[in-house]
């Protein structure tokens, strides 16, 4: 092995020992947080279900564990879908996090795992309406030190968790985030679309409606949103 090859080997080993190990730490932490979030969702579902059953048993609340990286919380007519990505991500250099001293002190602090939360109508899953729309309402980012921040347009969450936390994420913080997500989902109503937007329908759409429902349904589908709701969902890439 010549000198150049030895330097190449040393570079590869250094990257594996530092960057690859760091990414493994991020992934492990993200799995841990996702499992802690499962516990929070189960506890929340059990508690809310018990209490609302004394008010009206028709209001269904339940938790469903779909896989190691996917789970759902049904709250009345809403479904919150939680998805953990299997990869570790870096951010574009223009991201605001790069202006923080925490990331400036160590670039590896910026690498994160992602847990995405979507809001769907519960009936979309119940009736297998595959064309129905859901909305990305928040993303939780977890780094190698188990510190986190949340990207969302829900003010109550963004206000508290818009930048990296000073300490590792706790179950109390996860419970707080879940509560705000539920409040938002239940408050975010299904609006009737304008008459002219839905006055035409094909025979095929009507025939399919009884099965997979070709007529898409979403909380704002066919609706010209207000300035507030438009700003929340006009650019999901930001989330």
pLDDT digits (tens, 9 = 90+) for 2-18: 888 888 888 898 888 88
- Find the domain containing 121 and state its range: 3-189
202 exposed, middle or buried (CB, 10 Å; 0-12, 13-18, 19+)?
A: exposed
On the question of pLDDT at 204 being above 80, the answer is no
Q: Is residue 207 part of a domain?
A: no
55-91: per-residue pLDDT in tens?
998 999 999 999 999 999 999 999 999 999 999 998 8
Q: Is residue 194 part of a domain?
A: no
Q: What is the pLDDT of residue 14?
A: 84
Token pair recorded at residue 84? 């953990």
H or E stretch including 65?
A: strand 61-67
* Separation between Cα atoms, residue 33 and residue 27, nearest integer Å: 10
Q: How confident is the model at residue 96 (pLDDT cuts 50, 70, 90)?
A: confident
The arithmetic mean of pLDDT across residues 19-33, rounded, is: 95
On the question of pLDDT at 236 being above 60, the answer is no
Q: Is residue 221 part of a domain?
A: no
CA distances from 64 to 70, 72, 79, 124, 169 (A): 9, 5, 10, 15, 23
Q: What is the pLDDT of residue 229?
A: 43
The CA-based angle 89-93-97, given to 5 degrees, is 75
Q: How confident is the model at residue 197 (pLDDT cuts 50, 70, 90)?
A: low
Q: Is residue 24 part of a domain?
A: yes
Give the total number of structural domains in the chain: 1
Q: Is residue 204 part of a domain?
A: no
Q: Is residue 133 part of a domain?
A: yes
Q: What is the pLDDT of residue 222?
A: 38
Q: Is residue 202 part of a domain?
A: no
Cβ atoms < 10 Å from Cβ of 47: 11
206-232: per-residue pLDDT in tens?
666 655 555 566 665 433 333 444 444
Contact call for residues 201 and 231 (beta carbons, < 8 A): no
Q: Is residue 127 part of a domain?
A: yes
98-148: per-residue pLDDT in tens?
889 999 899 899 999 999 999 998 988 888 877 778 889 999 999 999 999
């Amino acid at each position: 092995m010549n000198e150049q090859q030895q330097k190449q080997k040393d570079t590869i080993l250094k990257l594996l020992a530092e960057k690859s190990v760091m990414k493994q730490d991020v992934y492990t932490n993200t799995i841990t947080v996702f499992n802690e979030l499962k516990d929070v969702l189960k506890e929340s579902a059990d508690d809310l279900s018990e209490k609302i059953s004394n008010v009206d048993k028709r209001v269904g609340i339940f938790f469903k564990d779909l896989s190691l990286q996917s789970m759902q919380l049904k709250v009345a007519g809403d479904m919150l879908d939680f998805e953990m990505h299997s990869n570790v991500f870096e951010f574009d250099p223009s991201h605001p996090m790069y202006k923080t001293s925490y990331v400036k002190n160590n670039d590896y602090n910026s690498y994160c795992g992602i847990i995405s939360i979507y809001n769907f109508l519960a009936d979309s899953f119940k009736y297998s309406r595959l064309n129905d729309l859901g909305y990305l309402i928040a993303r939780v980012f977890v780094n190698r030190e188990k510190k986190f921040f949340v990207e969302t347009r829900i003010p109550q969450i963004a206000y508290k968790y818009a930048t990296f936390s000073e300490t590792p994420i706790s179950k109390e913080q996860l419970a707080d985030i879940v509560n705000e997500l539920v409040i938002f989902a239940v408050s975010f109503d299904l609006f009737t679309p304008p008459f002219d937007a839905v006055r035409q329908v094909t025979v095929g759409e009507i025939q399919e409606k009884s099965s997979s429902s070709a007529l898409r349904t979403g909380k704002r589908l066919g609706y010209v949103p207000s300035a507030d709701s438009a700003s929340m969902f006009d650019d999901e890439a930001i989330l």
